[in-house]
Structure formats: structure tokens, C-alpha cells
Structure 1
Amino acid sequence: MKRWTRRPEGSTWGDWGEDDQLGRLNLLTPQKILQGIAEVKEGRTFCLSLPLDLPGGNVLNPRRLPPVLSPTGDPNGWRFNFLTGKLDPRHLDVVSDDRVMLTLQYSTQWDTLAHVGSLFDVDGSGTPVPVYYNGYRAGTDIVGPQPDAGADGCGHLCYAHKLGVENMAEKPIQGRAVLVDLEKHLGRGHTFVDYDQLMRIMAADDVVVEPGDMLLLHTGFATMLVEMGGKPDPQKVHAMCAVLDGRDQRLLQWITDSQIASLIADNYGVEAVPARDAGTGEQPMLPIHHHCLFKLGINLGEMWYLHELALWLRANKRSRFLLTAPPLRLPGAVGSPANAIATV
């Protein structure tokens, strides 16, 4: 039985086959990788990840908590500065071994296509059902907590059987990327960037985006998180730096027409979270997430650290580089830290 007979207007569902789980990552072809390599002139690299214990606290999102490191251990003791001579007096080794409780989308992250779906009438019956990109179903393909999930309410029973982050890791993600330096033109004020403003900034800096490119937006948000030193100011953190205006239909159409492979920013959600109220009628709370993840199959990257890269590109009058950005190969996860590298 087909998952859908109707697809959202303007979507890419089925364009790469009815079982596709990659979406626009299909545009990261060998040619795009070669184009990215061709942008490497200096052999210099930039880490694009924040320390994963930033932003600090849970001011940005009360559900997302900082990572907690702890040692592994057994009845013989914790495996941290562990003297193996306790097990055999002949042994000289000192061993440390740890584990982490990690909220996968706490810091620098990738959103998978299983992160945000929508109610949509996939079979024309008149009844919308919760689905994700390419019609994958909530409850069967993306499984949430069950009544017997245990004390944590989730455990192994939360699992993306389809669209999980392992698909991104297995691709993997590498190719040509293009950076738009919004901070250079707008400063760090809380600005809603629409289509016209984005086009003006790209024209001013001679930025050209071609099909299959990965697009990065530098706003200064992640830089400010670093400057706050793990103690984000609750009065500032929700209203600082540029965000895309997800209610601007011309901007959404440009994202469609540009054929970008992914959309990445150094701010909290790429777009304003939540978006401006569109008035009466049904509307997605996160229109760019809806447009990209649900309709087009465009993975979003959030809270990437772009400061040094942006300054270097600015000084060298460049906007393109090679981006290597695989997520964790963690089957069933709907998000992942992103320890991306830019090479110029």
C-alpha cells in the first residue's frame, strides 16, 4: 500500500523515488563535492561547532539540557583514573572511560527530516494525518513513547525507523557551501530577514547560490552565546541577531527555486521561533521548518559556530568553501550534534 497519493503543493515528495529518505541531500553529487574541493585554496580549516555544553542552562529551550559526563564503572570501581593494578598487581595502566547523557539538539546540530512533520491529507480522504517528508507516518515509521515505555517515558521505544539521522551520516554530507554574512550588514539587532533584504545582501557581497550548494547564514548569534560564557541572558537570547522571516512567501519560494541542498544558520532556529502570527486560519508554527523539512526535504542546521570562518571569508572577499559535516551515525535519532569543518 502506498503511503500517499497526494503530496503537498510544491513539495519534492517522490522526486527521488517513493522510498527516498535523503531529500535535497540527493543534490550532493560527486560533481558538487568536486566543486567544493575546487574552493580549497589555502588548506586552512575552521571548526563550525560550539562547545557542546553551550548555550548553557535551558533558557533557550526548557526541554533541552546540557550534556552530563560521567564515568563508566563496575563493582571494581569507577573507570576514571582507575589503577588497573587493583585487578592485577602486575598492571601499570591508569584508565579513564566515560559516557554522556546528551540532548541531541542542545547545541550545534542537524535537524533530520523526522524532526518536524505536519498534518496532511495524504490520500484525499478529507482527513489529515500526522506525516513527515515523503509521507512517512507518525506512529509506524517514526515511533514515539508507548504506554509501557518505562519511567523515562521513552527509552528505546522512541525511534525513527525512517528518516533517522543515520541516513545523513551514510550519505555522507560533503560539498560546496556558500555563506551569507547577515551580521556584516545588519549587526546583531533582532532583524526579520525577508526575501528582498536577503537578495540585497547577497547582491552587495556578490554571493551566488547554485543548485546543490549548502547555504549558511552568519548572524552573530552563536558568537554572542560564546561571549555569554554559558550563562545566556534570558532577556536577550530570544531577541537577538537576524532570523529568516518564515511568513514571507517570496522567501519560501526562493528556497524552493534555489535548489539548495541544506540550510544552516548560527542562530537558534534559522527562522524566528515562533514565527510571526499569520492571522486567522491554519498555519505552521515554524513555516521554514515546515517548508524545508516536511515539503522539500531540506535538512536544517542550527547554532553552528561561524564567527572565525565569516571573518576570514569577509577579509578575503570570498563566500564559498568546502563543507564536511557528517552527523553522528546513530540509528533512529531525529537530530544530532554537528561537528562540521569548513576548508578554504
Structure 2
Amino acid sequence: MTDSTKKAPELTELLADSPTNWGKWGPDDQVGSLNYLTNAEVLRGIKSVNSGDLFTLQRMIGDPKGDPVWPGREPATVEMVWDEASWDGEGAPQFPGGLHYADDTMHAFLQGSTQYDALGHVWYGGKIYNGYDARTTVGGLDKASVEPIAERGVAGRGVLIDMARYFGVDALPARKTFDHNDLMAAAAQQGVTIEKHDILVIRTNHLQLFFEQGDAFYDDFCEPGLQYSPELVQWFQDMEIPNLVTDLIGNEVTTDPDTGVSLTLHNALMRNLGVAFSEICDLEKLAAACAADGKWDFFYVAAPLKINRASGSPVNPVAIR
């Protein structure tokens, strides 16, 4: 347990010697480690397909059981604007031929569902990814927004590492942490190898607890997940991981139990290495299929929406086995 009286270190101190990819792909780069996903990597991903089975990984927006979101964000609201009742009144529009239609609107946090973060979504020390000034985020992200990721798209070999099955639980509880050594041990148990440039997909099934507990899920909120260490960050750097995909709201343990720092890996991996983060994915059907036949790799494809200057975007990733 962290001593509650001990002040958490500043990220500038904690990550002072952490590796970065700033400048690796030039001074104007805004997609970071996704640069590892070359045409050859896309073709390598396609080689993972042998059945053609397709799994979409987005959680439903407007789920009757509730939408898990980061504390402080509100779930999306969807409102019908036009439906059959709209044509009941005498003043209803009349279209030649008798056309009627349905139309609706949605108000949502762009990161309030299954989503991609922009590389400029988080920062410390006044600099976002690739050394851009954090003031470029004022009023919208002029640099490292989600738009360049959306324009580029994401495709490559995905590997699902099932940490819930590895630990022998239905769902990882709050605060449960693991590291790259655990990932490799779980991969070995599954009979799959994490290779360089793989899109790393991690299942915890922690959000099952959201659907079981309701609002109580947010009491003393701290998700499980990867925990920062210099060795873990170096492993991501050595493996040249382009994209971290999880079924968590925050992709990592919310508050580090050793340092008390919040979302350290958002900064060490996304801000410093340019690793793309995909969050709140629904991995249950994919995991069941992988467990059934022992095949844990697949072709992963995703493209967030092209939203100008946005810090994130909804997405519906696809895994093809």
C-alpha cells in the first residue's frame, strides 16, 4: 500500500530518464508508433487470417445496462428527432411519393465509449507527444490530434493476451496489477508469441463489475491493469509496440500503488513513445473464440472518426481470425 502521507512524485521526476520517440519519424510526426505498421506489417497481419471469422470490438453506445465511462464524463445521450409520430400532425412535411423517415442526434464525450486517444491527449512538463508545446491544445489540438490517426488508419497483427484467464478469475478486481513479464507468461500459457510490432490486446473483463455493481463501481475508483516500471516501458520500446488495446476505461492501473501517480503509462507510453491507446473495447466474444480453438492472433483493423482538432474519437475496431 502507498503511504497516503507521502507526496506522489512529479512525472517530470518519475520519467526523467524514460525513453522517447520524439523526432524518430521527423519533427512533424503526429502518429508516433503507428509508423511501425508498414505495408509489410499489414500483410503480416493478413497472414493471421485462416477462417474469416469477424469480431467487432466496440461496446454499444446507449446500452440499456449502462455505459462505462471515465469518472466525470457522462454517457452519451441519443434523442429521436424524426419518427413516424412526426408525420401525425397537419403541418408535417410532405414528400412526393409519401416518404417518411427516422432521424436522431447524439450528444457524447468523444472518449465516452470505445475510442482512440489522440497522442496529444495527455502531457506533463508543458510538452505533448513529439515535443509540441502543450499550448497547441488550447481550444482544440493543433498538433497530435486524433485526426492524423484517423486519416492513416490502423492495421496489423493483433494478439489477445487474456489476463483474466491467466489469473484464473472471471474478471480482474480493482487495483490488480501486472507487468510485461506477466504478459509473456500468459502468452506462453496460451501458446502464442508476442512479436515485434504486434498490436497488443489485453483482456481483463473488469467492466463486468460495472454491469454487476452499477454506480457502486465508481466508489473508490481504481481499475486494474499494467503498472509502470522502467523495465516495462523499455519492453514496449524494444518490442516497438504500435498500439495498446484493452477492455478498460483507462488502459492501465488508475493510480500506481507504489508511487501514487495517476495514469503513468499514458505519459510514458503515449506521450513519450507515441503508442496509440484504444480503450473500453468489448473483447468477450473474441476471447471465447480464441480460447475455443487456441488461436490468439488475428488481423486487427481500426479507424477512428476524422474529427478536426479532437483529443479522441469513437471507434469500432475489427478483429478478423
Q: TM-score range by the shorter chain?
A: 0.7 to 0.9
CA RMSD of aligned residues (A): 2.5
* Closer, same or farther: CA 236–40 of 1 in aligned 2, 3 Å: farther
Number of equivalent positions: 299
Distance in structure 2 (CA, Å) of the matches to 1:118 and 1:295? 10
* TM-score, normalised with respect to structure 1: 0.79
Deviation at 1:138, TM superposition (A): 1.8
Distance in structure 1 (CA, Å) of the matches to 2:68 and 2:288? 28
Residue type of the alignment partner of 1:44: D
Query: Given the alignment of the two structures, is residue 142 of structure 1 paired with residue 127 of structure 2, yes or no?
Result: no
Hey, what does 1:92 align to over in structure 2?
A: 98
Hey, what does 2:301 align to over in structure 1?
A: 324
Distance in structure 1 (CA, Å) of the matches to 2:172 and 2:318? 27
Query: Given the alignment of the two structures, is residue 68 of structure 1 paired with residue 68 of structure 2, yes or no?
Result: no
CA deviation map 1:72-101 (0-9, x unaligned)? 5xxxxxx33333983347551112222211
Distance in structure 1 (CA, Å) of the matches to 2:160 and 2:94? 56
8 A Cα contact 1:33 1:175, kept in partner:
yes
Distance in structure 2 (CA, Å) of the matches to 1:232 and 1:31? 45
Structure 1 gap ranges (5+): 1-6, 73-78, 120-129, 144-157
| Secondary structure at the counterpart of residue 20 of structure 2 | coil
Deviation at 1:24, TM superposition (A): 0.4
Distance in structure 1 (CA, Å) of the matches to 2:96 and 2:277? 53
Alignment of 1:213-228 (within 5 A): 213-225=198-210, 227-228=211-212
Distance in structure 2 (CA, Å) of the matches to 1:264 and 1:89? 46
CA deviation map 1:200-237 (0-9, x unaligned)? 22222233222221100011124444x439x3533679
Residue type of the alignment partner of 1:161: D
CA deviation map 1:16-54 (0-9, x unaligned)? 011100100111111111111111111111110111235
8 A Cα contact 1:222 1:305, kept in partner:
no
Query: Given the alignment of the two structures, is residue 175 of structure 1 paired with residue 152 of structure 2, yes or no?
Result: no
Distance in structure 2 (CA, Å) of the matches to 1:52 and 1:89? 32
Hey, what does 1:155 align to over in structure 2?
A: none
Distance in structure 2 (CA, Å) of the matches to 1:97 and 1:71? 6
Hey, what does 1:13 align to over in structure 2?
A: 22
Deviation at 1:194, TM superposition (A): 2.4
Identical-pair percentage: 31
Hey, what does 1:151 align to over in structure 2?
A: none
| Secondary structure at the counterpart of residue 216 of structure 1 | strand
Deviation at 1:334, TM superposition (A): 0.5
Match of 2:54 among 45, 48, 60: 45
Hey, what does 1:80 align to over in structure 2?
A: 83
| Secondary structure at the counterpart of residue 15 of structure 1 | coil
* Closer, same or farther: CA 17–219 of 1 in aligned 2, 3 Å: same
Deviation at 1:340, TM superposition (A): 0.8
| Secondary structure at the counterpart of residue 263 of structure 1 | strand
CA deviation map 1:225-280 (0-9, x unaligned)? 4x439x3533679356x41112x22222211111111011111212111222427x
* Closer, same or farther: CA 232–43 of 1 in aligned 2, 3 Å: farther
Alignment of 1:239-258 (within 5 A): 242-246=224-228, 248-258=229-239
Which structure shows the higher helix fraction?
A: 2
Hey, what does 2:270 align to over in structure 1?
A: 293
Residue type of the alignment partner of 2:127: V
* Closer, same or farther: CA 221–59 of 1 in aligned 2, 3 Å: closer
Distance in structure 1 (CA, Å) of the matches to 2:151 and 2:218? 40
Deviation at 1:183, TM superposition (A): 0.9
Structure 2 gap ranges (5+): 1-15
Distance in structure 1 (CA, Å) of the matches to 2:115 and 2:74? 14
CA deviation map 1:52-82 (0-9, x unaligned)? 235976885342111112245xxxxxx3333
Distance in structure 2 (CA, Å) of the matches to 1:114 and 1:234? 28
Query: Given the alignment of the two structures, is residue 339 of structure 1 paired with residue 316 of structure 2, yes or no?
Result: yes
Distance in structure 1 (CA, Å) of the matches to 2:19 and 2:33? 14
Query: Given the alignment of the two structures, is residue 132 of structure 1 paired with residue 128 of structure 2, yes or no?
Result: yes
* Closer, same or farther: CA 189–213 of 1 in aligned 2, 3 Å: closer
Alignment of 1:114-133 (within 5 A): 114-119=120-125, 130-133=126-129
CA deviation map 1:171-217 (0-9, x unaligned)? 11111111111111112243210233223222222332222211000
| Secondary structure at the counterpart of residue 278 of structure 2 | strand
